[in-house]
């Protein structure tokens, strides 16, 4: 069964850091680009970042550039999102998602909640 399982969310103070992980199973992880998408409470979806299968290419939405770093460990089938200098507006449910190779996200995890508050 194809599955994505996020972890690492929690409560952090403004200016703090958090590292999210996403464990993948049921497909050839290294063959697919992966993305992080977030959803603030009661709000819509916001694409955050993506990384190619070989990790050579990375992309970010403007609001997280310079603060967030996406990475992957293909030997462990794991995707990461290092989040630094966190702000209250980063509070959201963070989903990891698999790219179907034609720029659509066909498999999603259940999400991990990040709350930035003092």
Interface contacts to other proteins, rule CB under 8 A = 35, 37, 44-47, 50, 57, 59-62, 95, 100, 102-106, 108-111
CB of 117 to other proteins, least distance (A): 22
The residue (of 105 and 116) whose beta carbon lies closer to other proteins is 105
Residues in the chain: 118
Q: What b-and-e string marks burial along 48-69, b requiring 16 or more CB atoms within 10 Å of the CB?
A: bbbbebebeeeebeeebeeebb
| CA geometry: angle 88, 94, 96, nearest 5 deg | 150
The residue (of 12 and 50) whose beta carbon lies closer to other proteins is 50
- Gap between the Cα atoms of 90 and 69, Å rounded: 14
The residue (of 12 and 64) whose beta carbon lies closer to other proteins is 64
CB of 27 to other proteins, least distance (A): 14
């Amino acid at each position: 069964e194809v599955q994505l399982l996020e972890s690492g969310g929690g409560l952090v103070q403004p200016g703090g850091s958090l590292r999210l992980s996403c464990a993948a199973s049921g497909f050839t992880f290294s063959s697919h680009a992966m993305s992080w998408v977030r959803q603030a409470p009661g709000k819509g979806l916001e694409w955050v970042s993506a990384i190619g299968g070989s990790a050579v290419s990375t992309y970010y939405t403007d609001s997280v550039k310079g603060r967030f770093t996406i990475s992957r460990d293909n030997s462990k089938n794991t995707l990461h999102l290092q989040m630094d200098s966190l702000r209250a507006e980063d509070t959201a449910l963070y989903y990891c998602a698999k790219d179907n190779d034609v720029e659509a996200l066909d498999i999603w995890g259940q999400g991990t909640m990040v709350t930035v508050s003092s």
